[in-house]
Structure formats: structure tokens, C-alpha cells
Amino acid sequence: MSLADAVIPGRPVAVAPGVHWVGALDPEMRQFDIILRTANGTSYNAYAVRGHNGVAVIDTVKEDFAGDFFARLWACCKPEEIRAIVLNHLEPDHSGALPELLAAAPQAPLYISRPALGMLKGLLKDGLDPERIVAVTDDTRVELGGRSLRFLPTPYLHWPDTQCTWVEEDGLLFSGDVFGCHFCDARLFNDRAGDFRFSFDYYYQHIMRPFREFVLQALALIEPLPIRLIAPAHGPVLRDHPQTYVRRYRQLAEPLLANEAAGRDKTLLVFYISAYGNTARMAQAVRDGAEGVEGVRVSLYDLVGGEPGPFADLIEEADGLLFGSPTINGDAVKPVWDLLSSLTLVKVKGKLGGAFGSYGWSGEAVGLIEDRLRGLKLRVPRSGVKVKLIPTAEELAECAGFGRDLAEQLVGRAGPRHIDFTAPQALSA
């Protein structure tokens, strides 16, 4: 390991000619935002980009690490040389030193995305001269002399405000949280650091996956770029084969074979679990009813025969989801909850949902599943079918009608509807 590539306290690290890492290492971090774990801490990466006419600072660090950040920054430039401050993302782990930086370089405008505008005031308690804020557009260019910054709108990766900064002259992509990971390593570069592949995938799965459509949009912007180095806001700087990491995002965002029916049909998945075969029979009737509607591809899955992971992959691409569960001890059964709880990492908002099931003496499962589906922001337009014990022919016909109705809603053939939320059973309307 050459010393020039290592992180030394108080010293910036050159990542490209005229470009320095001025971030901070946080080796003690084990849990990030509660939901994320890291076995190796993390880093808050910030960068100083120098041109003939001055310096741009891209991102800052978590507030507790402001000392490290400024020590490195002032070792590679003077405050009055700063011509631009860019924040690719306003989350506190990157904006912690922003107020102090703005005060230290009062001449420098702040470049942020348009959606960041509204968040900024929550961040800067003392406010900021609106003249100093530039909400960037596709045409914004920050000329540093010999190199310039442009901005890629990459919203919802993973906040509304996220963007990437691109230095065309050198092929440098400052990507924010995208292509980042929680992995702290003083060797800083991907070809020197320890094996962080797991951390890279884990970060994608937990932070980016719920925004898969936005990942695909961002990749469409990023893939054509002649990237020579990716400088993310966490984890190793990707200087060796940076395109590999872009390709990995593509793979992670498209884990399955292409769905041949996607262009033609809406996809409806019916999951069920059955104790005595009653809910299974209901599921088949729901499937049969839905299948009669043209333009809908229906699939039936017994939860006993599968794992939440692959089911979640299917759900990610489906248009509608139905869940059948018996009520046991006043609740839906565990495999249903296991699957539903694994959906927090998958975007299901706006999909069509519904529930049904057989019960012995009380049928709480259906309502509980519907509540959960609403909590996940699915639309649940019809209250589910509950059947006491063994379904009669009539009840099976009701199940088929339920399947047909939901399938018709999926293809938009349901016609105008009225829902009364002021009626007593408003919630199950």
C-alpha cells in the first residue's frame, strides 16, 4: 500500500489530478439509520475539485466529523478559493458541516437540486441568503477553469433531492449515496480496500431497491457516460473498473428474466396458505375468476412451497397481489406476515391488493392483511371474501367474482365507481 493512497489524519487524499478526498472515516459505526447494519463502520466522503479558477467542494460529512473534514479541506485549498459548494444530497451524514462551510466561504454559491430547496431551510436554522442558492437544471454548468461540473437529476436515490455531479473533462462521477456502501477502509480505493462486495450489494438492497424505477431512470443517464472514476459519498472510491459497479446496479435492479407478458398483460399474483384446504379452494376460485378477464396473467402460489425472497422478486414486478390466509388464533398465519414484512424493501406502493380466507369462528385475518396492504400503500378497492369453514358453491362463486372484479380493475375496465368513506365500514369499502 503506497502512503499516498492511504488516509492519514488531517491530510487530503488525491483521487485524481487536482481532485482530493476530504471526507472522514467512521470505523465505529455499526448501525446506520436503525435499519442498516455495517460490520466495518462507514466513511463520509467529500471531495475538493480544483480548476484554474478555483475549487468546488462536493458534499460534506456528518456533523461530528466536521473537524476531520475541515482539516483535510484547508490542507488543500484556502476558503477564498472556493467557487462552488455542491450538495448531492442533504441527509445529515452529508450536510453536517454545511453551515460552517457556508460561513467559511461566504463568496461561494450553493448548488443543489430543485427538490432539495424545500429541505434546505429545515437544515439551516439561521436561513441562507436566497441569492446564494442555485437550484440546478440540465443546463447548469459550473466552470472551474479547465474542468466544469454538470448535474444529473437522479431523484429518489434515496431521497427526493438526490443528484449526481459529473466532471466531463475527466470522466469523474460524484454519485452521492448511489454506488456507495457502508464500509470503512483507510486504503480508500476499491482496488486496495478489503472485500466490500457484500456491503455494496447490501447497501443497494436496503437503500436503493425500494426506488427501483428511479434506479433504472438514473442508470439510463449514467450508463452512456465515459466514466473513469466514481466517487460515491460512502465507502471505497471506485477507480478500478468503475463501470463494473454501474453494471452491478443494472443486475441488481433487474434480477429476473424479462416478463414476456409485461407489455401485453397485467400481472396478478395470488398467494395463499391453507390449513384444511378451504382457503386453497377459495384461492383457486379467485384465480379462475380473475383468469376470465382478458389482459390479465394470473399466477397462483402456495406460500408453503416458497421463500419470501423469490416471492418478493415476483411481487416487485407484479401489478396486483392477493393474499389468502385462514384465521388462526385471531390472526393471519406466519408465512403471510413473513412475506408481507419482506416487502418493505420492494416498491409496492400503488399496486392493487386484496385478501380472502376461511375461518373457524372469527375471521380477523382478512382485515388485518388488508390493513397491512394499505399500510404498504397498496390500493385495496374491495373488501375481501371471508368464508366460515368449508366454502359452499355459492361462496366459491363469490370468490370467483372477487377475482374477476380485481382483474377488471387492473385492466381499467371496472367503470366509474363510488366509495363512501363515511359509511360505517368505511375502511373496508
Partner 1 sequence: MPKAQVTFEDIEVTVTVPAGTRLIEVSEKVGAGITYGCREGECGTCMMKIVGGSENLANPSVLEDKVLKENFAGIGNRLACQAQVLGGHVVVRPG
128 touches partner 1 (CB under 8 A): no
Of partner 1, Fe ion, none, which one does residue 91 interact with (CB within 5 to 8 Å by kind)? Fe ion
Amino acid identity, position 166: W
Shortest distance, position 26 Cβ to Fe ion, whole Å: 11
- Which x/- pattern, by CB under 5 A, does the window 137-176 give for Fe ion? ----------------------------------------
Of Fe ion, partner 1, none, which one does residue 424 interact with (CB within 5 to 8 Å by kind)? none
138 touches partner 1 (CB under 8 A): no
Our CB check for Fe ion shows the closer of 93 and 408 to be 93
Q: The sheet that has 385-388: what strands, in order across it?
A: 296-302, 266-272, 320-324, 352-359, 385-388
The residue from 195, 422, 424, 425 that contacts partner 1 (CB under 8 A) is 422
125 touches partner 1 (CB under 8 A): no
The residue from 90, 152, 352, 385 that contacts partner 1 (CB under 8 A) is 352
Residue 17 burial (10 A CB sphere; 0-12, 13-18, 19+)? exposed
316 touches Fe ion (CB under 5 A): no
26 touches Fe ion (CB under 5 A): no
Of Fe ion, partner 1, none, which one does residue 114 interact with (CB within 5 to 8 Å by kind)? partner 1
Q: How far apart are CA 113 and CA 193, in angstroms?
A: 32
Q: How far apart are CA 95 and CA 57, in angstroms?
A: 12
Our CB check for partner 1 shows the closer of 361 and 421 to be 421
Would you state the torsion angle of the CA atoms of residues 97, 100, 104, 110, taken in this order, to the nearest 10 degrees? 70
Of Fe ion, partner 1, none, which one does residue 93 interact with (CB within 5 to 8 Å by kind)? Fe ion
118 touches partner 1 (CB under 8 A): yes
Residues 143-182 that bind partner 1 (CB under 8 A): 156, 160
- Measured CA to CA in angstroms, residue 94 lies from 23, 46, 85, 101, 146 at distances of 10, 8, 12, 12, 27
Q: How far apart are CA 200 and CA 36, in angstroms?
A: 12
Our CB check for partner 1 shows the closer of 73 and 136 to be 136
Q: Which stretch binds partner 1 (CB under 8 A): 20-28, 115-123, 275-283, 329-337?
A: 115-123
Residues 228-257 that bind partner 1 (CB under 8 A): none
Those residues with Cβ within 8 angstroms of residue 20's Cβ, 6 or more apart along the chain or in another chain: 12, 13, 14, 47, 48, 50, 72, 76
- DSSP letter for each residue of 272-290: E--SSSHHHHHHHHHHHHH
Those residues with Cβ within 8 angstroms of residue 142's Cβ, 6 or more apart along the chain or in another chain: 56, 83, 84, 86, 111, 148, 149
117 touches partner 1 (CB under 8 A): yes
Q: How far apart are CA 407 and CA 382, in angstroms?
A: 12
Shortest distance, position 217 Cβ to Fe ion, whole Å: 18
Pair 165, 222: CB distance under 8 Å: no
Shortest distance, position 417 Cβ to partner 1, whole Å: 5
Helix (H) / strand (E) element for 101: namely helix 98-104
Beta bridge partner(s), residue 254 = none
DSSP 308: H
92 touches partner 1 (CB under 8 A): no
Q: How far apart are CA 333 and CA 315, in angstroms?
A: 19
Q: Which stretch binds partner 1 (CB under 8 A): 55-63, 218-226, 248-256, 411-419?
A: 411-419
Q: What is the CA radius of gyration of the chain?
A: 26
93 touches Fe ion (CB under 5 A): yes
Of Fe ion, partner 1, none, which one does residue 177 interact with (CB within 5 to 8 Å by kind)? Fe ion
Task: For residue 298, give the nearest of 265, 254, 329, 336 by alpha carbon.
Answer: 265
**Count residues contacting partner 1 (CB under 8 A)?**
27
Q: Which stretch binds partner 1 (CB under 8 A): 241-249, 274-282, 298-306, 407-415?
A: 407-415
The residue from 177, 185, 265, 408 that contacts Fe ion (CB under 5 A) is 177
Our CB check for Fe ion shows the closer of 207 and 280 to be 207
Residues that bind Fe ion (CB under 5 A): 91, 93, 177
| Residues in touch with partner 1 (CB under 8 A) | 114-115, 117-119, 122, 156, 160, 349-350, 352, 374, 377, 379-381, 412, 414-423
